[in-house]
Amino acid sequence: MGPKKPGSPAQSVGKRLKRKYSRKSPDNTYRVKRALRMIESDRVSIRKAAEQFGVSYGYLYRRLSGEANVDSRNGPRPIFSDEDGAAMARWLKEMSARGMGLKPGEFLDFVQKVVKEVNKSTPFKDDRFRL
């Protein structure tokens, strides 16, 4: 066997996007909620919980004090609701399972079409995200 071949261009773009957008992952929210539960049960200080769960002290403090919502995110509001995003993800997985996976550009074409049909406003030029 020769050396392992690199993945397709679509896989490398997918990995790049995953790294870019995984900063605020569901796992992070889960860790924050666990840390807050541990703090509220008076088992640990905020600083110790921050170290243990890998989040910053300030981040935990703001959520504990009520200054920020536990599920809040920085940046602009999402264009699609969580349900819409989950539906698109299910559709994309289903297409992939059928052997009809889409390239990133094709998926963006699909999303652009949905945005125009539903008449949503977006901050993107021509209602399309650019890679």
Computed over every residue of the chain, the mean pLDDT equals: 80
* Among 31, 88, 93, 17, CA closest to 59: 31
Give the pLDDT confidence score for residue 25 in this predicted structure. Answer: 54
93 vs 87: CA distance, rounded Å: 10
Collapsed DSSP state (helix, strand, coil) of residue 120? coil
Q: pLDDT-derived band of residue 4, with 50, 70 and 90 as boundaries? A: low
What share of the chain in percent tops pLDDT 70?
Answer: 85
List, for residues 56-99, the tens digit of each pLDDT value.
899 889 888 888 887 777 777 788 888 888 888 888 888 888 88
